[in-house]
Amino acid sequence: MNRIDQVFQEKKDVLNIYFTAGFPKLGDTVKIIKALEKGGADLIEIGMPYSDPVADGPTIQESNMVALENGMTIAKLFEQLEGIREHTNIPLILMGYVNPVIQYGVDRFVEKCKSIGIDGTILPDLPLPDYKREYKTLFDKAGLYNIFLISPQTSEERIKQIDEASNGFIYMVSSNSITGAKDKVQDGQIEYYERVGSYNLKNNKLIGFGISNNDTFKNACCYAEGAIIGSAFIKLLSNSENLEKDISNFVKSVKG
């Protein structure tokens, strides 16, 4: 069984935390993974830095730039993750943009994910028709889940197409904006959450963009199986002087 499925079978109010590989320092990737698992995170989303992360807000954009300047690449990330399954069993998802993956070689990328023990990918700019036509068979054979995003503007028809083609969970973007931490949920978001909930989708749902603390996390969990935190965690890493301690305290504060 894919580890992502196992988490949703065993846990409620699933917390998925995003960080950018190679940030704040090039060698911090595995240290952060271990600290997140120890601290109580349920899923980890590892960002593959890219020079033009158009869906991301300034906090994550800046972390991408720092990581690239530090020398992070897909090849370097795979090198750092070699043997990670000797130390951790938490589901690991690689999140990034499709162009660097194509440059690396999609077949090679998927095979490397399989050999290391990566459970899924999130490639926001990979069109659904292209994935179904060119890559789905490859991903399925490797047991690698590819997770798609939906937003308040995504039609019911497309959401159901995504649900049919997806495994693991659907990433519900909370608003039509770039990533970034917010302190509270807007009224229009609740209507969107309830509307998607009425579709009886086969996949679990995680809400992302704007989740930053216990209040926004718990609110999201009223409408989905959990939530994703990115920018707020990146800010923590930027200011941390003790990664293990600060990461543990952060996860506990979000989960309450």
Catalytic residue among 45, 119, 163, 225: 45
Can you state the percent helix, strand and coil of the chain, rounding each to 5? 50, 15, 35
Helix (H) or strand (E) holding 46: strand 43-47
Residue 170 pairs with which residues in a beta bridge? 205
Q: Is 246 an annotated catalytic residue?
A: no
Tens digits of pLDDT across the chain (256 residues): 999 999 999 999 999 999 999 999 999 999 999 999 999 999 999 999 998 766 677 899 999 999 999 999 999 999 999 999 999 999 999 999 999 999 999 999 999 999 999 999 999 999 999 999 999 999 999 999 999 999 999 999 999 999 999 999 999 998 765 444 445 456 678 899 999 999 999 999 999 998 999 999 999 999 999 999 999 999 999 999 999 999 999 999 999 9
Task: For residue 91, give the amino acid letter.
Answer: P
**pTM for the whole thing?**
0.94
Our count of domains for the chain comes to 1
What pLDDT is recorded for position 187?
A: 64
CATH code, domain with 212: 3.20.20.70
Rounded to 5°, the CA angle 111-160-43 comes to 45
* Inter-CA distances, 156 with 61, 159, 177, 199, 205, Å: 30, 5, 20, 8, 15
Helices (H) and strands (E) in the chain, counts: 13, 9
Q: What pLDDT, on a 0 to 100 scale, did the predictor assign at position 53?
A: 66
* Domain span holding position 63: 3-255
Note the pLDDT of residue 182: 46
Q: Give the pLDDT score at 255.
A: 96
Is there a catalytic annotation at residue 56? yes
Six-digit token pair at 228?
């994703």
Q: How far apart are CA 168 and CA 2, in angstroms?
A: 8
Structure-token pair, residue 40:
């109580």
Q: From the candidates 28, 56, 119, 225, which is the catalytic residue? A: 56
Reading the block at residue 55, the tokens are 């869906």
Could you tell me the two tokens for 190? Answer: 């609740």
